[in-house]
Structure 1
Amino acid sequence: MTPDASPLLGTLLHTIGAASAALCYSPQKFLHKWSWQTYWLAQASVCWLLLPWLFAYLFVPEYGMVLAESPSDSMWLAFGYGVLYGVGGIAFGVAIRYIGFSLTYAIAIGFSCLIGTLFMPLINGVLGEKLQQEGGMIVVGGVALGFFAMIVSGMAGFRKEHELAEAGKREGSGFNVKLGLPICVVAGVLSAVFNFSLEAGAPIAEVAALHGAGNFQELAKYPFTMNGAFLTTLVYVIYLAGRSKSWGEFSATTDRKGLGRNYVLAFATGIMWYMQFFFYGLGHIRMGDFKFSSWAIHMIILILLSSGFGVLIGEWRGARSKTFGFMLLALALLVAAVGLITYGNFLGAESAAAGH
């Protein structure tokens, strides 16, 4: 067990990051006369362009030397995966408009959790080895339970939206499950690619560790992943803004009000989105031999907290008691999944410590 291995602390740090992620898109509801593409480029400029480089230079010693010594193929691969993730990020933001916070998070993150966690260990041929280690089966069992819990959460969210539509409480809200659901699936699959990008950038973090980055070594690889996502966003926004002629929104709203507030809200979104991975990195290096489970534990906690956030902002007001009971069941299963993954990581860390 490395000196930094502490699964319980790692889970706590993942929880802080997931809380930031669960709240990051909420400022979008308070924008004033900004089109979606204007807001999306403004917040992406913060979280995917500015902050990754700023935090890397602030927290990674000799970052210029780290870049010079890191393998270029890792940089390009991480960037390429980031480009694909950018498509998922766009789809995620669009899906929220059509099917709400609860349903979007449940479906998209469910796919992201399962694919992002197990695909890379599977194709790298190490999943079987991990299952044979102490606590390995418990960790993977927790991932499976988390995926099932997300399905239950998604079912509850779908029932809730259907009930609210029947009651006329969704009139004019833009709810459209036929359009939103496939967008959600695309968002989930491509969101999993973010974890592939982080895995591709692992050699960069290793070089940063040699330069004394310590607990902040993961920050060294973020600029490549996130800049890739920004490139996708920039291209898409250029297309949308050109088609809708909305470039002027960056300098003035149609009624000349609220521009400064819009930028503050976009900045809030960007910094909350980035901070999820600031804490993700701090949690990831503390998960011992089962670091691959970091993605699952982050995603599961994200669903847990975002579902609660949906309740707080009134998305479940008017839903039937049976439907709300489904959500309570999902929340209980999500808590159990987090507990299993954390416990499996703890057993693995204890076993590794005993072996040393």
Structure 2
Amino acid sequence: MASNPILGTLLHAIGGVSASTCYLPFEKVKKWSWNSYWLVQASFAWLVFPLIVGYLTIPNLWGVYEEASNSVIINTIVLGAVYGFGGMAFGYAIKYIGFSLTYTIAIGLSAVLGTIVPLIIHGTLMEQFTKSGGLVVLFGLLLALFGVAICGCAGYKKDNDLKLAKAGNLGSFNLKKGLMLAVFAGVFSSIFGISLELGAPVAEIAGKYGAGHFEGNANLLLSTLGAFITNFVWFTVASIRQKTIGELVAIKTLGVSIWFRNLFLSILTGGLWYFQFFFYGLGHINMGKFKFVSWAVHMSMLIFFSYLVGVLMKEWKEVGKSTYTTLVLGLLILVISFVVITYGGMVEN
């Protein structure tokens, strides 16, 4: 199957746009608790959309799973379930230290661990970087991490600028709790990348069945199934305890238009979350001999576009010139890193 690193990088970029905008619809959800919104979006992001797309793109989907090793299937699902806790911690971290800082720490850590750990597990860490073009890709990877760090610095400066602008009104800001949760979220979120990597044999079987560039949807379904199980159990219990479960069927109480709007926006969130990894799979298969950098590229794209969306949404309007300059520098370094990694992937063996 012919690869195209330029196309692969562009597809990762589309996934990054999808990921960086997936939680924006929640701002328009009315009279629903976070529990209700999360249950609906999680159901579509991690179960409904993966099943539908899997059936449409993988010939004889169940035949693929029957042929795959049970241990591979179980490990992929279990790691997907573990990843589910990372998403929960991510949300709480935002509450304590803000969006920018949480995104950079958690996703930056996820990018590193989700790339390096699978290579260590397979014993191919040195082998991958000694290929033709490997050092170029390594330089691009390090450059991406440096860009992420600069963006994180900009995020930290932004939080300080906004706190000063609010004359000391810190709200629920708690640096210690927030940092702990962000690190926890980063470690557990990286496990999703490891889950996809361990599920790669399933994708290879799907490729034999004629799935082509869509083969990654086979192992993606297993990873998201694990995440769905964790979140469905957790938020169903939380909804029952907090007595919000009734919101999901309270059509008359909320009004038909509000209920359907909430449902649509929650499904939209789920769709945006899922399609980031739909395009991740397409991008991954096109990265050629450097598929292992897909997770780092995807996470860096996610950070890049999340900050860009923040600028477009005027979240950086009140920051100082130094903070804004730091952000632009970080984004520029990320763009350069994408070009370097793509070039490295095009170097012939």
Range of TM-score over shorter length: over 0.9
Is residue 333 of structure 1 aligned with residue 306 of structure 2?
no
Gaps of 5+ in 2: none
Q: Cα 1:263–1:198, aligned 2, differ >3 Å: closer, same or farther?
A: same
Is residue 261 of structure 1 aligned with residue 261 of structure 2?
yes
What is aligned with 1:153?
Answer: 151
CA distance in 2, matches of 1:328, 1:254: 48
Q: Contact 1:9/1:286 (CA < 8 Å) preserved in 2? A: yes
Q: TM-score, normalised by structure 1?
A: 0.93
Q: Contact 1:112/1:192 (CA < 8 Å) preserved in 2? A: yes
TM-aligned CA deviation for residue 94 of structure 1:
3.0
TM-aligned CA deviation for residue 320 of structure 1:
0.5
Amino acid of the residue matched to residue 6 of structure 1? N
Amino acid of the residue matched to residue 69 of structure 1? E
Amino acid of the residue matched to residue 164 of structure 1? L
Gaps of 5+ in 1: 352-356
- SS of the equivalent of 1:192 reads helix
TM-aligned CA deviation for residue 42 of structure 1:
0.8
CA distance in 1, matches of 2:167, 2:56: 48
Q: Cα 1:42–1:172, aligned 2, differ >3 Å: closer, same or farther?
A: farther
What is aligned with 1:79?
Answer: 77
**Where do 1:82-97 residues align within 5 Å?**
82-97=80-95
Q: Cα 1:42–1:313, aligned 2, differ >3 Å: closer, same or farther?
A: same
Aligned residue pairs total 347
Amino acid of the residue matched to residue 341 of structure 1? I
CA distance in 2, matches of 1:221, 1:70: 10
- SS of the equivalent of 1:230 reads helix
Deviation digits for residues 281-340 of structure 1 (CA, Å, limit 9, x no counterpart): 111111111100011111111111110111122221210000111111111111121112
What is aligned with 2:46?
Answer: 48
CA distance in 1, matches of 2:165, 2:40: 36
Q: Contact 1:101/1:310 (CA < 8 Å) preserved in 2? A: no
CA distance in 1, matches of 2:320, 2:170: 21
CA distance in 1, matches of 2:292, 2:273: 21
- SS of the equivalent of 1:317 reads coil
Q: Contact 1:35/1:246 (CA < 8 Å) preserved in 2? A: yes
CA distance in 2, matches of 1:211, 1:146: 36
TM-aligned CA deviation for residue 137 of structure 1:
1.4
- SS of the equivalent of 2:254 reads coil
CA distance in 1, matches of 2:22, 2:99: 11
Amino acid of the residue matched to residue 62 of structure 1? N
CA distance in 2, matches of 1:113, 1:139: 15
**Where do 1:162-181 residues align within 5 Å?**
162-168=160-166, 174-181=172-179
TM-aligned CA deviation for residue 172 of structure 1:
8.1
Equivalent residue in structure 2 for 1:235, among 233, 236, 242: 233
CA distance in 1, matches of 2:168, 2:223: 37
Q: Contact 2:31/2:254 (CA < 8 Å) preserved in 1? A: no
